[in-house]
């Protein structure tokens, strides 16, 4: 599998940073060539141009942006499962991201 890039986004990128770190650790443990990073929702357009994420996952607290982003972006956009987000379950969210990417290819 080619390198995958996963962006997590929330209001300011703070709460998703911890989850991104846990996802990166899970990817490293799997031997997956992945870059997982977090940012604020407002930075998504710049990150699309700069890092070209394969999927964008949105924190539950800003779920209202998902429909608009699905229309604007050419990659899968989904809200992070609330339970996985609350538990900071990097393995589950990584599995979701991989599934979305494979469905898009």
Residue 64: strand, helix, or coil: helix
Strand partners, 5: 35
Could you give the CA distance from residue 70 to residue 74 in angstroms, rounded to a whole number? 8
Q: Active-site residues: which are they? A: 10
Q: What does the alpha-carbon distance between residue 60 and residue 63 come to, in Å, rounded to a whole number?
A: 5
Tell me whether residue 9 is exposed, middle or buried, using C-beta atoms within 10 angstroms of its C-beta: 0 to 12, 13 to 18, 19 or more: buried
């Amino acid at each position: 599998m080619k390198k995958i890039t996963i962006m997590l986004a929330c209001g300011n990128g703070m709460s998703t940073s911890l989850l991104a770190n846990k996802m990166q650790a899970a990817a490293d443990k799997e031997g997956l060539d992945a870059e997982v990073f977090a940012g604020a929702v407002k930075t998504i357009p710049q990150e699309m141009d700069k890092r070209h994420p394969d999927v964008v996952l949105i924190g539950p607290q800003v779920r209202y942006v998902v429909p608009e982003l699905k229309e604007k972006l050419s990659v899968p956009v989904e809200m992070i499962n609330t339970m996985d987000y609350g538990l900071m379950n990097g393995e589950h969210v990584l599995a979701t991201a991989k599934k979305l990417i494979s469905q898009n290819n």
